[in-house]
Amino acid sequence: MRFATGCKLVSFATVAGMLLLPGCARHKTGTAAYAGESNAAAKVIAQRKLTPADVVGALKTFEPPGRRDKYLMFASGGQGGQVLVWGFPSMRLLQEIPVFTPDSMAGWGYGGVGDQVLREGYIPASKMGPRQRIRWGDAHHPALSETHGVYDGKWLFINDKADGRVAVVDLRDFACKQIVKNPIFYNDHGSTFITPNTRYVIETSQYSAPLGGAYAPLRGYKQDYRGEMTFWRFDRKTGRIDSKRSFAVEFPPYWQDLAVSGKLASRGWAFCNSFNVAMYHGNDMNGAPSFEAGATRRDTDYLHIIHLAQAIKVFKTGSFKRINGFPVIPLKTAIADHILFFTPETKSPHGCDVAPDGRYIIVNGKLDPHVSVYSFKNIQAAIAAGPTTWRHDAYGVPILPMRKTIKARIEVGLGPLHTQFDNKGFAYTTLFIDSAIAKWSLGGAYEKMHPDVKPWSLIQKLPVNYNPGHLAVIGGDTEHPTGQYLVALNKWSIDRFDCVGPLYPEDMQVIDISGPKMRLLSDTPLCVGETHYAQIIAYSKIHAWRVYPKVGWNPLTQSVDPNAPMPGNERIVRHGNKVEIFMTAVRSHYTPEIVKVNQGDQITWHVTNIERTPNATHGFAVSGYNINLTLNPGETETFHIHADHAGVFSFYCTKFCSALHLEMTGYLVVKPRATH
């Protein structure tokens, strides 16, 4: 039951003919040709048993050969630990940006720059144990950088839920430049969310634990376990997170979930859901309930309301402690200095989203069929009403009365998770259990955008396939959403694709939201990770390099590397057992092609791809030494080999770059010790 059209295919040929004659008034001379084609098209439609809805879906999303997409979708790759870049709305996968996980296609993590970035993200050695070499990530929420509350196309941030890390991707070369490990927490989830000018990248912990990675027994949960929110200061000049200007705010040991930055009316504030306010900490093997029962005992959890502007002030006055050297505003200070407030939310909420004008915070409880709309103005009034009107939690955090902070509750269906917004005053919420998208109307200033629709009311529910998590509208997180299309990121695909074994792909469904009713347009399977979240930006805002600006470019410093091998100065330099190789690559040879070393030598090897032609990427792989680089035109990479294994190892280009690509090879000859 995909489309309840029940149409007759014979009469449908006419419809198809009309559909396939776009703008024939403008193309008068082409009308005859079109008519012939439309007959052919009608035949295909009949043969393939396509419905009118199928044809509209195809026409709206198909890009003819050679035509490009108007939008790019940046999607997290979940357990794949990467970022996927899709042409939108055609849903053609254009790029995979490796971040937390080595990727052999991109040559990330096999000797070159990827190794350096991945190393930054390792858990450092401490008194709790040795360095942990983390080689994967659980990428959840990509965030495009913003200027004045609108995507500016310069950077992308992404978090790793598993190990509490945040990464920076530079959108000039679509490559990861930095991974920061949270110094006080092992995991995160409310991340990455950015403030409207990208000053701060928000990272919030999820499963409470002792701060700083310390040990404390579970029976000390209430005293010793904590949550936190980290504000990473982003420096546009360096394109890096500046740990020295970053800080965290300590939270009670509730499990914080999705976080979001305020915008326009609520700039300078941040919001965050929580669950397990019951502070349940289990003991199932001794007969205690599981977490799913224990953590959801209470009827309400707390929406965390954080006065970020105030927290920055407090941080600057130095009122913080240091944990592992990182500044943390203690919970007591956060309470005393009016940084942290709570208001109840129905239990076990998940999504936390701010409307484009910043006036409403939308919270969805997985176990409550309503979306709850909190008014920022009401929250301010409840804060201004003062301590006599507040209750306090066990730690003394003020609780603003829910009946004062809430503006509307709209029944949308089962399992509401995440919400996005369009440019017409509507909101869209995924219904995980119902397997549907709910479209509902915003009130307040949005009413004049849809005068004939009742504010705060459900408009339509569109079934999707199946169990949607997040959804994304073009520009849907910004102060000025574009609307037009949304994509539902469905966790299960069940019966939508040919069976390829018991591991199923996800299903990403593109939906047209330009008209009064939502319309399903297409299905796209995704099998290289689980996209939790995505953001969609106009391609015109992206200014990516076609080749690196100059030959000898170091993608980490984004400047010419002083050690870069250049044409004419290729060489092999030896100092004792240290060997430094300066090599260039161009279609279709490396210089030098023969590299002779002795067993036990320490090799520092630089390679420059000296090409200036777009697309002329070379690979560089060395057998036996786990080396695999991707060198884009102009790029220089450096790697190290400890030549502890004697033998003859070929190195070769892994990208089929030219007719003589197979000849783009050479030998690394490692002479055994005995024969030196």
- Binding positions for ligand CUA, 570-589, rule CB under 6 A: 588
Q: How many residues make contact with ligand CUA (CB under 6 A)?
A: 8
Using DSSP's 3-state secondary structure scheme, residue 674 falls into helix
Query: Which residue, among 58, 6, 45, has the nearest Cα to 522 in the 3D structure?
Result: 58
Q: Do 470 and 457 touch, CB atoms closer than 8 A? A: no
* Binder of residue 657, out of ligand K7E, ligand CUA, none (CB less than 5 to 8 A by kind): ligand CUA
Q: Which of 56, 260 has the CB closer to ligand K7E?
A: 260
Q: In which residue are the tokens 């949005």 written? A: 446
Q: Which two tokens stand for residue 302?
A: 């707390």
Exactly one of 350, 366, 439, 618 binds ligand K7E (CB under 6 A); which one? 350
Query: Which residue, among 267, 412, 281, has the nearest Cα to 351 in the 3D structure?
Result: 412
Query: Which residue, among 536, 538, 3, 557, has the nearest Cα to 240 in the 3D structure?
Result: 557
**Cβ-based neighbours of 303, under 8 Å, separated by 6 or more:** 271, 272, 273, 274, 342, 343, 344, 345, 349, 352, 361, 363, 374, 405
* Residue 519, beta-bridge partner list: 512
User: Is residue 98 within the footprint of ligand K7E (CB under 6 A)?
Assistant: no
Exactly one of 374, 533, 548, 553 binds ligand K7E (CB under 6 A); which one? 533
Q: Which of 83, 631 has the CB closer to ligand CUA?
A: 631
Q: In which residue are the tokens 């997290």 written? A: 76
- Binding positions for ligand K7E, 141-160, rule CB under 6 A: 141
Tell me how far, at minimum, the Cβ of 105 lies from ligand CUA, in Å.
14
Tell me how far, at minimum, the Cβ of 656 lies from ligand CUA, in Å.
6
* Binder of residue 172, out of ligand CUA, ligand K7E, none (CB less than 5 to 8 A by kind): none
Exactly one of 118, 520, 664, 670 binds ligand CUA (CB under 6 A); which one? 664
User: Is residue 590 within the footprint of ligand CUA (CB under 6 A)?
Assistant: no
* Residue 440, beta-bridge partner list: 427, 458
Tell me phi and psi for residue 277, to 5 degrees.
-65, -20
Exactly one of 80, 327, 469, 666 binds ligand K7E (CB under 6 A); which one? 469
Tell me how far, at minimum, the Cβ of 613 lies from ligand CUA, in Å.
12
Q: Do 583 and 589 touch, CB atoms closer than 8 A? A: no
User: Is residue 366 within the footprint of ligand K7E (CB under 6 A)?
Assistant: no
Exactly one of 307, 532, 606, 618 binds ligand K7E (CB under 6 A); which one? 532
Whole-number Å distance between alpha carbons of 101 and 281? 31
- Binding positions for ligand CUA, 298-357, rule CB under 6 A: none
* Binder of residue 664, out of ligand K7E, ligand CUA, none (CB less than 5 to 8 A by kind): ligand CUA
- Binding positions for ligand CUA, 595-624, rule CB under 6 A: 618
Q: Which two tokens stand for residue 669?
A: 């000859």
Q: Which two tokens stand for residue 178?
A: 């930095």
User: Is residue 661 within the footprint of ligand CUA (CB under 6 A)?
Assistant: yes
Q: Which residue is nearest to ligand K7E (CB)?
A: 469
User: Is residue 657 within the footprint of ligand CUA (CB under 6 A)?
Assistant: yes
Using DSSP's 3-state secondary structure scheme, residue 42 falls into helix
Query: 30: which DSSP letter?
Result: G
User: Is residue 55 within the footprint of ligand CUA (CB under 6 A)?
Assistant: no
* Binder of residue 537, out of ligand CUA, ligand K7E, none (CB less than 5 to 8 A by kind): none
Whole-number Å distance between alpha carbons of 340 and 361? 16
* Residue 271, beta-bridge partner list: 260, 305
Exactly one of 75, 456, 655, 666 binds ligand CUA (CB under 6 A); which one? 655
* Binder of residue 350, out of ligand K7E, ligand CUA, none (CB less than 5 to 8 A by kind): ligand K7E
* Residue 147, beta-bridge partner list: 150
Residue type, 115: D
Q: Do 144 and 156 touch, CB atoms closer than 8 A? A: yes
Q: Which two tokens stand for residue 443?
A: 């009130």
* Binder of residue 307, out of ligand CUA, ligand K7E, none (CB less than 5 to 8 A by kind): none
User: Is residue 653 within the footprint of ligand CUA (CB under 6 A)?
Assistant: yes
Q: Which of 194, 664 has the CB closer to ligand CUA?
A: 664
Binding site for ligand CUA (CB under 6 A): 588, 618, 653, 655-657, 661, 664
Binding site for ligand K7E (CB under 6 A): 140-141, 189, 258, 350, 417-418, 469-470, 532-533
